[in-house]
Amino acid sequence: MIDTLTDSTATSPARAGWREWAALPVLVLAVVLLAIDATVLSLAVPALSRDLAPTATELLWIGDVYSFALAGLLVTMGTLADRIGRKRMLLMGAVAFGAASVFAAFAPTAGMLILARALLGVAAATLMPSTLSLIRQMFRDPTQRRTAIAIWSAGASAGAALGPIVGGALLERFSWGSVFLINVPVMIVMVVAGAFLLRESRDPRPGRLDVLSAALSIVAVVGVVFAIKELATHGVSWLAAAVVVVGVIAGVVFVRRQRTLAVPLIDLELFRNRAFSGSVLADLIGVLGFSGMIFFLSQYFQLVRGYGPLEAGLRELPAALASVVVVVIVSRVVGRLGMGRAIATGLLVGAAGLVLLAVAEGADSYLWLAGALALVGLGVGLAVTLTTDAVVSAVPPRKAGAASAVSETAYELGVALGIALLGSLQVVVYRLVLDVPSSVSPQTAAAVRESLASATAAIGGSDAPQAVEVLQHAQHAFTIGMQTTAVIAAVIMSVAAIVAWRVIPSTRVDASARRR
């Protein structure tokens, strides 16, 4: 039976019942899997490179095309879900994700794998806004909704941390295709359970979908994400500059068009809402600092401390486990501090964790690093949960898909910016600190200056005293770069905390006063 929800509070209970709570794991399962899929591929690169022999350009596209498709289509898919039904979009996306996973696992060439990864990104864009918008519909009570979003957010954090662990365990026993095939049984469970437990919901007054606006949004977002990745990988180039110009022009035209449409793809008036606009910005910056840290930490554990992929993944778990604690404390924190101050507090806790991470690197005991990771996970988890709640709560339930898409787009941009900006900064510091003796061959010296990964590949297996010394210098330079980057990320998160404190309202709002 289709239960088409409207803005009327009379058509839905004030508090969620057993069916809603039973359906929540289905939605969390989706974000866990998508987060795992975003991080697990990096471990499979050596194995698939041996089998498919991709060129350097093809290898970059295998890694990047997923995020391009995902980020570019989120707004369109979120708005489309409001029109045709969020449950329907979720189940369609799950089926498509499972099929694309099989395609990827058995891709015979690098080109086919790139196509499969693009299809995975399209399916992920179909899934993600639907998960969050369905939570907005299922949990109308503010306290219950915050708890549900905290569980959803913890699932995303846990998935990102579990990616290296799952990937390491699979790749020790199976081929690289196993990192994709693991998606299939999970998607089957999602489709079966979702069909029974989820209620359908849609916008009862959707209006016409403006195809030109959808195309402009895709060009604008993909242009920005592509340019960020191009700058991070190759530095300043004409290609990056051209793509930025195209993306900015598309974005400007998109904004102007939304102001003239009777039913815009995104209601720009939402950004006049301080809770909405401030939360989107805080979400982006919080994720920026967190994603940059995880990116460097994985390399640090493996290339500096010498852990294998599986052990490195286990060492990162404190951040994911701490984010689970948010489920227990989120309602108490926001009830005591108010939304804006609670988000600011979360960002400050995350910033403190990043500073401790920079200091704890030299400690003999891993416990200091574990404590730093726990602080980051707790702080960012709290901030992301509350910013997400603020964004989806700022719109009536019938527009939940579009608002969810804005929140997810901010998240994806935060991930891209975190890896690109903090990655570029880390590389700059690494090369400034690095001291390569003149006696090292030009080819080896070039590899060492490129990155710690290439230095390890070039001389990591050598027992020669000079090779060992050069590698130690490279590890030291990487560590200095990571520490510097962590401190700067902490400063950025602290600035975001000030913005959240001043911009996002902190008055307690009664549930009955919320916009329905």
Please indicate, yes or no, whether residues 132 and 229 belong to a single structural domain of this protein: no
Residue 513 domain-assigned (yes or no): no
Please indicate, yes or no, whether residues 317 and 441 belong to a single structural domain of this protein: yes
pLDDT of 4 higher than 60: no
Rounded distance between C-alpha atoms, residue 32 and residue 22, angstroms: 17
- Where on the phi/psi map is residue 208: left (φ > 0), alpha (ψ -120 to 50), or beta? beta
Please indicate, yes or no, whether residues 136 and 238 belong to a single structural domain of this protein: no
Residue 404 domain-assigned (yes or no): yes
Residue 469 domain-assigned (yes or no): yes
Please indicate, yes or no, whether residues 222 and 356 belong to a single structural domain of this protein: no
- Among candidate residues 206, 222, 253, the one where a domain is terminated: 206
pLDDT of 507 higher than 70: no
Residue 8 domain-assigned (yes or no): no
Residue 462's pLDDT is 65
Structure tokens at 133: 């918008």
CB atoms < 10 A from the CB of 339, how many?
25
Residue 244 main-chain phi, psi, to 5 deg = -60, -45
> Across residues 321-328, what is the average pLDDT?
84
Task: Output the domain CATH number for residue 394.
Answer: 1.20.1250.20
User: Who's near 112: CB < 8 A, 6+ residues apart?
Assistant: 103
Rounded distance between C-alpha atoms, residue 462 and residue 258, angstroms: 60
- Using an 8 Å Cβ cutoff, are 298 and 312 in contact? yes
Please indicate, yes or no, whether residues 326 and 393 belong to a single structural domain of this protein: yes
Q: pLDDT tens-digit profile of 189-236?
A: 989 998 988 888 777 676 677 788 888 988 888 888 788 777 766 667
Tally of domains in the chain: 3
Domain that holds residue 99: 15-206
- Amino acid at the residue 157: S
Alpha-carbon torsion (183, 186, 191, 194), positive or negative: negative
Which of 271-285, 372-386, 451-465 is predicted least confidently? 451-465
DSSP per residue over 26-95, as a string? Answer: HHHHHHHHHHHHHHHHHHHHHHHHHHH---HHHHHHHHHHHHHHHHHHHHHHHHHHHHH-HHHHHHHHHH
Please indicate, yes or no, whether residues 280 and 427 belong to a single structural domain of this protein: yes
pLDDT of 55 higher than 80: no
Rounded distance between C-alpha atoms, residue 413 and residue 407, angstroms: 10
Please indicate, yes or no, whether residues 135 and 235 belong to a single structural domain of this protein: no
Q: pLDDT tens-digit profile of 472-506?
A: 888 888 889 888 988 998 998 898 898 888 888 87
Please indicate, yes or no, whether residues 317 and 392 belong to a single structural domain of this protein: yes
Please indicate, yes or no, whether residues 193 and 284 belong to a single structural domain of this protein: no
pLDDT of 3 higher than 60: no
Q: What number of residues does the chain have?
A: 516
Q: Which pLDDT band, with edges at 50, 70 and 90, does 93 fall under?
A: very high
> Across residues 395-422, what is the average pLDDT?
75
Residue 207's pLDDT is 67
- Which comes out higher in pLDDT, residue 41 or 221? 221
Please indicate, yes or no, whether residues 351 and 462 belong to a single structural domain of this protein: yes
Please indicate, yes or no, whether residues 259 and 377 belong to a single structural domain of this protein: no
CA-angle at 310, arms to 307 and 313, nearest 5°: 85
pLDDT of 463 higher than 80: no
- Using an 8 Å Cβ cutoff, are 44 and 176 in contact? yes
Radius of gyration of the chain (CA): 23
Residue 103's pLDDT is 94
- Among candidate residues 206, 237, 256, the one where a domain is terminated: 206
Residue 11's pLDDT is 45
- Amino acid at the residue 433: V
Please indicate, yes or no, whether residues 166 and 224 belong to a single structural domain of this protein: no
Residue 10 domain-assigned (yes or no): no
Residue 407 domain-assigned (yes or no): yes
> Across residues 358-381, what is the average pLDDT?
86
Rounded distance between C-alpha atoms, residue 220 and residue 68, angstroms: 11
Rounded distance between C-alpha atoms, residue 385 and residue 432, angstroms: 38
For residues 441-472, one letter each, b for 16 or more C-beta atoms within 10 angstroms of the residue's C-beta and e for the rest, the string is: eeebbebbbebbeebbebbeeeeeeebeebbe
- Would you call 244 helix, strand, or coil by DSSP? helix
Spatial CA neighbour of 75 closest among 134, 132, 125: 125
Rounded distance between C-alpha atoms, residue 492 and residue 502, angstroms: 16
Residue 448 domain-assigned (yes or no): yes
Residue 512 domain-assigned (yes or no): no
Q: Which pLDDT band, with edges at 50, 70 and 90, does 508 fall under?
A: low
pLDDT of 312 higher than 90: no
- Using an 8 Å Cβ cutoff, are 496 and 285 in contact? yes
